[in-house]
Amino acid sequence: MATTGILRSRRSAAQLLAIASVEREIRAIDPAAGRKYLRDFREAYRSYQKVLAPSDVRHEIAKAGIVLVGDYHALPNSQRYLASLLRDPELHQRPVVLGVETIFSRDQHILDEWFRGEIDEDELRQRIRFELDWGYEWPPFYELLSAARDHGASIFGLDCMPREDLRKIGARDRHAADKITELRRRHPDALVVVLFGESHLAPQHLPALLQQRLPAEPMLTVLQNVDALYWRAAGEARDHVEAVEVRENVLCVFNATPLEKYENYRLCLDRWGRSDNDHSAPDLGPTLYNLIDGMVRFLGINQYSPHNTTQPMLLVDLMPEVYSRSSDALLRRLLSRKGFTAEHRRTLLRQVRERGSVYLTPINAVYVRQFRMTSSAEDATRFLHQACRGLPNLCNGKALAQRTAPHAAPAAQSLAGDDAFYIAVFEHALAFLGSRILYPARPALRDTDLADLFDVTREDLEHQTSLPFADAVEALDFMAQHREHDCRAAQPPAFTGRKHEYVAEQLGYLTGNDLYDAYLEGRMTTAALRKLFLTHIEEPGVAREAYVQLRTRLRSGQRA
């Protein structure tokens, strides 16, 4: 296995390239990042002592007195993580009190009315002036409030004016410390959990003030997704580090990558920059283009190359159109107008509901209803794979109407069945590889995960595969045999429809994960990966042979 430093470099390379672009954009709009108060936080947490399991974190929280949880306001995972903790029975061995920065203490009576069921969600949102005084995403914050209320936790607002003036931020810390001290006095036996902006949790800020007021209180700080700690943890041998112990009474959990954080913040800045009358969806074009650029630079591709041999020709002119919408009505009209069959339209709409976005190969466009890093990274990679082959799959309406598989090339419909199958497998493999390169937090998919599906209940198997039980078992049997035996002798499945799509996708994802592991171990160079992207698998017989050679090489452990 590669050394810690090499692993860290390989896992982080594409993300760092993509982050550089979005950070420049953020700094141009928000210059406050250089203020000393914010630097205090960044400089305080640079290393950790050991890796923890999520169960270790829950245990430490359950035995603490006051728990300060860091919140990156623009990242929905920050609020959803705490919501998931409040649903954990281990935390409810005693009363739980939740304090939040999002709501001013002056508005406690409004929060109490909602808690008692006297007002609904819309009235709560309006009266606490959520958009005007806070402005971040409402759904994840409301999910947190609902989780607290549903599980019997009391809720209190902790913040005060003014929020926009960093010169007054110390006064806000003192106010919060006073309010938390009051909560402890009023609820002496409770677990007090506080969600507050991460910069407030530098040791000399809110934690120090609380320690002065409550010197005997067992206090725990739980940070989330601290950049320096994330990059250091990228050097660990395990697939994904979920938590670390920074020092005594300070932990950090990882539920998002730095790139995911900053892309979400960029979307917030985009929304804040719009006029009050502009209610359109956020512009996700820059996000997709940035992910593509990260992969392009990682693979060493020249976007301006005039030829299409070892480089895609004029990639800069092939960028996909990006549709950012919160409704699927536009997608239905678009698919109908472009000649997609009714069955294919249903498949793509299902994908959008499940994944949040989809790359529409025939028209070289990405449709995004909801930004999710896993799906967006995969969509960016799917585009790049098509572009490296010169976008051969653009087609006229007549050919498009014959299309059946969401990501298979329309031209493949005229190829032999095994060609169409292996084209789909190869495309899924590179899509999964790219998503893990851009988003290493994506869970790995290995043969052991496939084997585990044989042991789940009938209902769980149908839910996880979206297939009837008999079809799911048949698909799993085929994939297990395919992966165990020499793939040169393997035949494509005789399945059709959704079962055929599922098998192609899962075999592709398994191969993509094998590729990613080989890359981390140094058996697959970026030049070798680039060559895979440039392979013209749409030509008869090429996809099967390329897949067979790749699987043989990966199984042998040889270096590419």
| Least confident span in 23-32, 101-110, 349-358 | 23-32
CB 464 within 8 A of CB 452: no
Q: DSSP assignment of 427-480, as one string?
A: HHHHHHHHHHHH-TTSPP--HHHHHHGGGS-HHHHHHHHTS-HHHHHHHHHHHH
| CB atoms closer than 10 angstroms to residue 134 | 19
Number of domains in the chain: 3
Q: What is the pLDDT of residue 277?
A: 65
Judgement on whether residues 299 and 429 belong to the same structural domain of the protein: no
Greater confidence (413 vs 10) lies with: 10
Residue range of the domain that includes 371: 280-413
Judgement on whether residues 429 and 337 belong to the same structural domain of the protein: no
Judgement on whether residues 405 and 434 belong to the same structural domain of the protein: no
Judgement on whether residues 457 and 484 belong to the same structural domain of the protein: yes
Average of pLDDT values for 279-285? 79
The CA–CA distances, whole Å, from 248 to 133, 218, 522 equal 35, 11, 36
Decide if pLDDT at 395 tops 50.
no
Decide if pLDDT at 541 tops 70.
yes
CB 532 within 8 A of CB 452: no
Distance separating alpha carbons of residues 221 and 249, to the nearest angstrom = 6
Judgement on whether residues 377 and 428 belong to the same structural domain of the protein: no
Judgement on whether residues 238 and 153 belong to the same structural domain of the protein: yes
Domain boundary among 368, 386, 413: 413
Judgement on whether residues 227 and 358 belong to the same structural domain of the protein: no
Classify burial at 285, counting beta carbons within 10 Å of its beta carbon; exposed 0-12, middle 13-18, buried 19 or more. middle
Report yes or no on 22 lying in a domain.
no
Judgement on whether residues 317 and 453 belong to the same structural domain of the protein: no
Report yes or no on 27 lying in a domain.
no
Closest listed residue to residue 514, CA positions, set 501, 502, 523: 523
Report yes or no on 1 lying in a domain.
no
Judgement on whether residues 50 and 132 belong to the same structural domain of the protein: yes
Distance separating alpha carbons of residues 211 and 333, to the nearest angstrom = 59
Report yes or no on 265 lying in a domain.
no
Distance separating alpha carbons of residues 267 and 514, to the nearest angstrom = 33
Distance separating alpha carbons of residues 166 and 186, to the nearest angstrom = 30
Report yes or no on 453 lying in a domain.
yes
Domain boundary among 386, 413, 440: 413
CB 351 within 8 A of CB 358: yes
* Composition of the chain by helix, strand, coil, percent to 5: 60, 10, 30
Residue type, 79: Q
Length of the chain as a residue count: 560
The set of residues, in sequence order, having a beta carbon less than 8 Å from that of 458 and lying 6+ positions away, is 469
Q: SS3 of 50, please?
A: strand
Which CATH number do you get for residue 121? 3.40.50.11550
Judgement on whether residues 359 and 217 belong to the same structural domain of the protein: no
Q: What is the pLDDT of residue 404?
A: 37
Report yes or no on 6 lying in a domain.
no
Question: Positive or negative, the Cα torsion across 471, 474, 478, 479?
Answer: positive
Q: What is the pLDDT of residue 459?
A: 94
pLDDT band at 462 (very low <50, low <70, confident <90, very high): very high
Distance separating alpha carbons of residues 256 and 72, to the nearest angstrom = 11
List pLDDT tens digits, range 421-454.
Answer: 999 999 999 999 999 999 999 999 999 999 999 9
Alpha helices in 45-89 (DSSP H): 54-63, 76-86
Decide if pLDDT at 405 tops 70.
no
Decide if pLDDT at 31 tops 80.
no
CA 88 to chain CA centroid, nearest Å: 23
Judgement on whether residues 222 and 91 belong to the same structural domain of the protein: yes
Q: What is the pLDDT of residue 292?
A: 96
Judgement on whether residues 197 and 63 belong to the same structural domain of the protein: yes
Q: What is the pTM of this model?
A: 0.89
Phi–psi pair at 316, nearest 5 degrees: -60, -25
Domain boundary among 349, 379, 413: 413
Greater confidence (293 vs 314) lies with: 293
Average of pLDDT values for 499-510? 95
CB 364 within 8 A of CB 322: no
Report yes or no on 25 lying in a domain.
no
